[in-house]
Structure 1
Amino acid sequence: MKTPLMLFVIAVAAVADQVTKALALSLLSAGMPFSILPGFNLTLSFNEGASFGMLSGVMSGKPLVMAGLTGVLTLGLAVVAFRSRHPLERAGFALIVGGSLGNIIDRVRQGAVTDFLDFYWRDWHWPTFNLADIAIFLGAMCIIATAVPLRSRKGSADGQT
């Protein structure tokens, strides 16, 4: 993946995240689920912590600290992305960087990350998330896919047939 394409993936992930969050903020009321399908609601919520609300108690009221920490990690991942030579790995890092930027924008702009995708089973709800989180997850899957060695269909991993 060439650098301009990688920058495009970063921008699309961040912009798509911000557009969907703007729609959620304008169309949904906090804590009021809007049913889409059995097992899936749109439910507006705000996360001051890290992924899945971890550290929300520690980071409550400290959005710039959280944005700064996330920013440092994102910058490090961007450097790795630009140094990587494997196209799928570069795409994975680009998705992670773009998703992370989307969440950093929320922290700086409003003090918390906007979440609205709510999957559940009966009374159990997966932590609410957003498009940035999907980009980060897909990016991680791309990176993992490049790390898993594939065996040849004709022979074993050591080259013997």
Structure 2
Amino acid sequence: MAREFSTHGYITHKINFNGGDRFYSGADHCMDYTGSVSQWPDFLESYLLKHQIRAVFLMGDCRLYHRLAKPVCERLGVQFMVFEEGYLRPDTITLERGGVNDLSALDFSLIGLASASSQRLSAEVPMPPSMSHRTRYAALYYWAAWFQREHFAGYQHHRAFSPVVELSLDHK
């Protein structure tokens, strides 16, 4: 997404929390965050102000660093945009301002759902089944994260931080 934004004239930034993030960095400006979790909100605030960032895009909002970023963005008036992860719906992606799932601002009450309007948009490029691509992507991500874990010593992952555990069918 950063590359696409860049081609349209936007300057993009990416903060890497681990080697997997670094492996897939595609922004104009990338930096490794190697500080502690407790230092993260102050670091993020300083970074956003220094670079005049107007919007932050995240994949999922349940990760510790993402949860800590939300109040910083709200305080500074920076748009907090979250892609939902975890659903396997073909040709569909969800992006919400402020959060998804439990943190979604959408009204999921029966009245809210009954009064909601929806519009189905066709994808410009249909997305074929992608489990093999996602498996390769995840394997490379976790191996890169694993081999660079000493550089990101303060990083706290939201799940088991092992390529073997993550790729097993039996992990929780």
Structure 1 or 2: larger helix share?
Answer: 1
Question: Which structure exhibits the higher relative contact order, with contacts defined as CA atoms closer than 8 Å and separated by 6 or more residues?
Answer: 1
TM-score normalised by the chain length of structure 2: 0.24
TM-score normalised by the chain length of structure 1: 0.25
